[in-house]
Amino acid sequence: MKKPVGITMGDPCGIGPEIIARLFADGLPEQAVVIGDAKVMERAVRALALPLQVQPIASVDEAVRDATLIPVLNVSDLPNDLPIGQVDARAGRASYDYVVRAIDEALAGNIGAIVTAPINKEAMKKGGLNYPGHTEILAERSGTDKFAMMLANDELRVILVTIHVSLRDAIDLVTQDSVLRTIELAHRAGKTYGIASPRVAVAGLNPHAGENGMFGREDLDIIAPAIRRAQEFGINASGPWPGDTIFMRARKGEFDIVVAQYHDQGLIPVKYFGIDNGVNVTIGLPFIRTSVDHGTAFDIAGQGTADHSSLRYAFDQALLLNAI
Return mean pLDDT, the chain. Answer: 94
Mean pLDDT of 14-37: 97
Rounded distance between C-alpha atoms, residue 120 and residue 183, angstroms? 29
First and final C-alpha spacing in the chain = 11
CATH number of 1-146+283-324: 3.40.718.10
169-178 pLDDT tens trace: 999 999 999 9
- pLDDT reading at 38 higher than 70: yes
DSSP string of 71-92, one letter each residue: EEEE-----TTPPSSS--HHHH
At residue 196 the predicted structure's pLDDT band, cuts being 50, 70 and 90, is very high
291-321 pLDDT tens trace: 998 899 999 999 999 999 999 999 999 998 8
- pLDDT reading at 324 higher than 70: no
- pLDDT reading at 1 higher than 60: no
Is 155-272 the same fold as 1-146+283-324? yes
Asked if 199 contacts 256 with a C-beta cutoff of 8 angstroms, the reply is yes
CATH number of 155-272: 3.40.718.10
Indicate the domain borders of the chain: 1-146+283-324, 155-272
Measured CA angle at 133 (ends 181, 87), to 5 deg: 170
85-121 pLDDT tens trace: 999 999 999 999 999 999 999 999 999 999 999 999 9
- Identify the bridge partners of residue 34 per DSSP, sorted by sequence position: 7, 72
Mean pLDDT of 208-214: 92
pLDDT at 36: 98
